[in-house]
Structure 1
Amino acid sequence: MSKRLFELGQVVATPGALELLERHSMTPMQFLQRHVTGDFGDLCAEDKEANDEGIWNRERILSSYKISEMEKLWVITEADRSSTCCLLPEEY
């Protein structure tokens, strides 16, 4: 198991994100574990590098995971590490 790179704070999820995951028999924990250990999902190299820097500079961290051909889940940890939210891109 990989090491946690930052604190998640209070974890919340939007109803849309929960519905998407339930429809695909997935749980938020699967993606939170990836997010907190540095697997930021389907991001370009530049965005992944920004996340790596953000861990050390205490900036916002964004992960994006492809759930199906047309659906994505975002996981965002706030810069102050007070909270992490699972949401759909259109809910941002």
Structure 2
Amino acid sequence: MALAVLSQPRFRAGKLLMTADVNDLVQRGVFNPGPYLQRHLDGDWGDLCDDDRRQNDAALKSGEDRLFSSYQVTSDLKIWIITEWDRSVTTLLLPSEY
């Protein structure tokens, strides 16, 4: 499934991947990853504590660490998005799959 990115991202996503469980949610129409991927690429880290946000902001400047976002989609669904330190891969996954 192709994911469209609407605005100019703050960093490149690299290859986009999703785990089998996330893909199943997408295929069943339970989850639309587009808005959450856009938020991640815009530097909106979602539901993180201030320390984790600062760590992401520092990693964004240095390019030496991965970027992590967490989004509470519904009361029963949380999605994590991780972009590797070299910005070669961005993965959407469920916390239980980490």
Q: d(CA) in 2 for partners of 1:24 and 1:63?
A: 22
TM-score, reference length from structure 2:
0.83
Q: d(CA) in 1 for partners of 2:78 and 2:27?
A: 13
Q: CA deviation at 1:8?
A: 0.3
Runs of 4+ in 1 over 2 A off after TM superposition: 18-26
Aligned-residue Cα RMSD (Å) equals 1.7
**Residue in structure 2 matched with residue 39 of structure 1 by the alignment:** 44
TM-score, reference length from structure 1:
0.88
Instruction: Work out whether 1:6 is the aligned partner of 2:17.
Output: no
Residues 41 and 64 in structure 1, CA contact (< 8 A), matched pair in contact too: yes
Percent identity, aligned pairs only, is 41
The count of residues paired between Structure 1 and Structure 2 equals 92
Bigger helix share = 1
User: Which structure 1 segments of 5+ residues have no match?
Assistant: none
User: Which structure 2 segments of 5+ residues have no match?
Assistant: 1-5
